[in-house]
Structure 1
């Protein structure tokens, strides 16, 4: 498939004329699509188109905007299998994971379609008998949305849908190795009747296209999901114009296993959190913080869990697919080497899984006796690597869980009600879970991190997303 930019309601080649291949990570020789290498001129044209469409879309009634979002959800459902297959081939997810992500996007568009009719404001009681006091909700304006490759449909959906529902215009820049899937989403919005220029798609490098979309003084807000290092650049680029910024970045997410935990549940919770989506989720569990009373038994069982997982191309629907790229695979293997050098005990995995095929497959990996100060216990790996850390008390477990720079998602497995409540109070994370895996999010509640995992400004999803994309105007009407 030859992808194009989508600017002002029309599909265009990049002004550079250059493309790069988006490859199937399970079969790297297979090209899923050719993606435009866009330029600053392309990004500027996209913002031009957004600026031209801004006023008319902001004045479009909420129910009318909602109808387009609802139709987008219907088209996503109608094309579910084709889009899921594209997602499998481009990102590497299993069929089950990919169909789940498509369904998530459908649900997001239906949710914000309903919300669009309720956006407008509130009426408050005035202290004056002759004044009507109200708060109006208005769109912030032009939004740049920059999205990663690991959820190539879900993350664009949860940025674009609330932005459009609230009357904003958007330019979307997906990761270059996720652009074919993002294109499928934009095609659904186009076919749903979205007016020209309201949504624009531009692909290309972050240091040119991304920078242009975050520094253009006409852009009012930037929503970014990706690495901490790039997020810092985005924040600095947006700061001079005081743009509103939403950053969702990495995590080093723990699951605490207490002495009274149901170990069957604990193994499933940790295993699915660590190895689901090949560990390529910002909310993936990368640290199991286990009380010494159950440490040996838990370790034996989690090793068995890892060794039971099947690997293969996503269309075969194995338990785990490949990593997304050669660079991601190399990074994971480098961290595994670091863990061994640091003295952690490699219990299972640790190698490229060549018997799964020629793709970027790595064995599910478990390290034991990990010291909390080791790099593999401190730095995000973004692969199926689990560090098992022994602790002797609840207090030590929380100290270890909080002892990293990030604070995105965290969970505890316990049957002790007091410890469950204490954990929710004590943990420094934007998402706290009890007897659940660190991955998996409800779409109608806020999502975001603390510390280096986030800008700690605005959350995504639910009503929190509406807050990010809107401004409040207080109106005093004296009659």
Structure 2
């Protein structure tokens, strides 16, 4: 795998970049291991990709929704046949454990089949007309050429939950993955390539964010753009889309709370908190980040949380007994270390973890032990800012109202959960919490492919992703009036 170079996929051909330069993808488990190389594309390559998508869009639209869905069924079968290989690549490239990587790849298969099924579902409505001799109806039509920019933390699921609806609803695509996960993305693209979509329908291009990502954002030939990633780039997407008058959809992360009430099942709450906070090394946009606990059970919850967190095995995600892998990159590793220092400087108490693991089998990777902070004030940076790592901020509150107030005290609003046995508490929480995804007696990080997904406040702007809601972004409504 070390010598494998993955090219761009443009107009159904795997082609070198104009620069003939490459970028290396480094394994976070061993910084000396090159997982693969991808094209370091330039603006000439991007022009070719966008032109290819434009040339293909009319015929792809005319093909019909059912036929487009059949292509996705083919891709799903191919991806499923390569599940183990692609999951192993994902683990090597971005560090999540192999069971998690297999689960994500299987989810990609399920997403493809879900949207393939959209090929047989309605794409409009008949509406009564005031003219009794007329027929009035609506049709959903594609927006055109869609730019897709995806992050490194879910290198199979996030690209597919954007690609699949974009394609089945009749759009053509220019897709740029994060460089840190571009080898995994290239292997997913091989599945689409093998399914023999018509020329130019799906174009895959790798390169730096400053050149290719920004190029997609600014290019007049992009007719809609969907982005998942940092808040900084998300704002650039929104500005550029507004200036061009095109659709945009951005997801920019979260600071996701879990509330534990005094009547909660402590064991269940601890289990969900650990899974939500530390699976995928906390590198989920829906990961649990601050844990807000009512005073009567605070000490008991904290004791159980520490006890169970100590059992976590950190290491190489390919090893069967490893529960948590490394940070996905040196940059993310440094960010996590910085926030652990910030928490201590702010006066919070580091109860457990937060240690850089750099001895023996850890010495060449980006490993840090899961961290738990106590004595956290809601205004502290570790309680306000997205860390995107295995760090929990514990906050003690007097009652459910204070808990909800603290949970809402953030600029983000992606996901939130509560553990309680009290009906009035979870109804109050569901009503008052400012988050797009609300979960009761379940971890904050659960997302189901058939349900709308997206955030409030500064977590996201634009229509929801996944499920039937995806149709809102990838199509426009055309009203048709027919009279003899």
Provide TM-score, normalisation by structure 1: 0.99
SS of the residue 1:121 aligns to:
coil
**In structure 1, C-alpha distance between the alignment counterparts of 2:347 and 2:123, rounded to whole Å:** 58
Provide Cα deviations, 1:372-405, integer angstroms capped at 9, x if missing partner.
0000000000000000000001110001000001
The answer on whether the counterparts of 2:257 and 2:291 sit within 8 Å (CA) in structure 1 is yes
Structure 2 matches for 1:418-437, cutoff 5 A?
418-437=424-443
Question: For 1:400, which of 403, 406, 413 is the aligned residue?
Answer: 406
Which runs of structure 2 are paired with 1:242-391 in the superposition (5 Å)?
242-317=245-320, 318-355=322-359, 356-357=361-362, 358-391=364-397
- Partner of 1:166 in structure 2? 169
**Correspondence 1:472 to 2:474:** no
Deviation at 1:127, TM superposition (A): 2.2
Matched residues in 2 for 1:130 and 1:193: separation?
A: 45
Partner SS, residue 463 of structure 2? coil
Question: How far apart, in 1, do the equivalents of 2:397 and 2:183 lie?
Answer: 45
Secondary structure of 1:315's counterpart equals coil
1:406-437 per-residue CA deviation (whole Å, 9 max, x = no partner) reads 00000000000111111010000000110010
Corresponding position of 2:77: 74
2:242 matched to 1:239? yes
1:23 to 26, 31, 34: 26
Farther off after superposition, 329-338 or 122-131: 122-131
The equivalent residue for 2:116 is 113
Q: Which residue of 2 aligns with 1:185?
A: 188
Question: Shift of residue 211 of structure 1?
Answer: 1.5
Figure out how many residues of one structure are paired with residues of the other and give that number.
478
SS at match of 1:304: helix
CA distance in 2, matches of 1:454, 1:170: 22
Distance in 1 between residues matched to 2:393 and 2:112, nearest whole Å? 37
Name 1:460's counterpart in structure 2.
465
Report how far residue 120 of structure 1 moved: 2.8
CA contact (8 A) 2:112 2:160 kept: yes
Report how far residue 119 of structure 1 moved. 4.3
Mapped pair 1:449 → 2:452: no
Residue range with higher mean Cα deviation, 285-294 or 296-305 = 296-305
Q: CA RMSD in A?
A: 0.9
Structure 2 regions of 5+ residues with no counterpart? none
TM-score (norm 2): 0.98
Contact kept, 8 Å, 2:169 with 2:475, in 1: the verdict is: yes
Match of residue 43 from structure 2: 40
Return the alpha-carbon distance in structure 1 between the equivalents of residues 41 and 242 of structure 2: 24
- 1:129-208 to 2 correspondences below 5 Å: 129-208=132-211
Contact 1:25 1:91 in 2 (8 A): yes
User: CA offsets, 1:204-254, max 9 Å, x none?
Assistant: 111211121122112110000001011111112222211100001110000
SS in 1 for 2:121: coil
SS in 1 for 2:368: coil
Q: Distance in 2 between matches of 1:348 and 1:90?
A: 28
State the secondary structure of the residue aligned to 1:420.
Answer: helix
Would you say the 8 A contact 1:62–1:119 is kept in 2? no
Deviations 1:23-43 (A, max 9, x none): 111111110011211111111
Q: Is the 8 A contact 2:23 2:207 kept in 1?
A: no
Answer yes or no: is the 8 Å Cα contact 1:68–1:194 preserved in 2. yes
**Residue-by-residue CA offset, 1:48-92 (whole Å, 9 max, x unaligned):** 000010100011121111111001000011111011111111111
Runs of 5+ in structure 1 lacking a partner? Answer: none
Deviations 1:250-289 (A, max 9, x none): 1000000000000000000111000011000000000000
Residue 127 (structure 2) aligned to one of 113, 124, 127 = 124
1:47 and 1:214 mapped to 2: Cα distance?
12
For residues 437-466 of structure 1, give each alpha carbon's deviation from its aligned partner in whole angstroms, at most 9, with x where no partner exists.
0112110110000011001x2110011111
- State the alpha-carbon separation in 1 of the partners of residues 156 and 68 from structure 2: 20
Aligned partners of 1:61, 1:35: CA distance in 2, in Å?
34
| SS of residue in 2 equivalent to 1:217 | coil
Displacement, 1:125? 1.9
Q: Aligned ranges for residues 214-233 of structure 1 at < 5 Å? A: 214-233=217-236
